[in-house]
Amino acid sequence: MIRYTAEHFWLRLEEDGTAVAGITRHAQDTLGDIVVVDVQASGRQAENTVVGVVESVKTASDLHMPLDADIVEVNPALADNPALVNEDPMGAGWMLRLANVDAARFATLLDEAAYDALTGN
């Protein structure tokens, strides 16, 4: 199941109980060509905490934690190939693997139809 935030993050619950997260296609389209993904945070992070930055040829944008959870992994492929975010933002371009995600809070995030309405898609 995939959910979205108004801040243009997507989250997908995995079978092992973790969630994978990254920025949406809409966000990467707005940012343009991604040249750096820098996530310095790890461990337990509160919702809306700045956990990193995404830099593009146009601008830099803070990455805000989409919900309370533990960051257990940052996509290692992005260090050498940040363009994966542009090429496949909801696949190979994922950014964070999260553990201890509150299922009730996850359920309150936007579904695809609500996110599309938000972005005008």
Tens digits of per-residue pLDDT, 66-94? 999 999 999 999 999 999 999 999 999 99
User: Which tokens belong to 7?
Assistant: 């801040």
**Cβ partners under 8 Å of residue 89, min gap 6:** 10, 22, 23, 24, 25, 27, 28
pTM equals 0.92
Sign of CA dihedral 14, 89, 34, 67: negative
Q: What pLDDT score does 3 carry?
A: 98
Phi, then psi, of 37 in degrees rounded to 5: -125, 115
Q: What pLDDT score does 8 carry?
A: 95
User: Which tokens belong to 65?
Assistant: 């934690």
Which structural domains are found in the chain, ordered by start? 2-115 (2.40.50.100)
Q: Residue ranges of the chain with pLDDT lower than 50?
A: none
Q: What pLDDT score does 4 carry?
A: 98
If you search the block for the tokens 């299922």, which residue do you land on? 103
Q: What pLDDT score does 41 carry?
A: 85
Name which of 96, 99, 121, 93 is nearest 33 in CA terms.
Answer: 93
Q: What pLDDT score does 60 carry?
A: 94
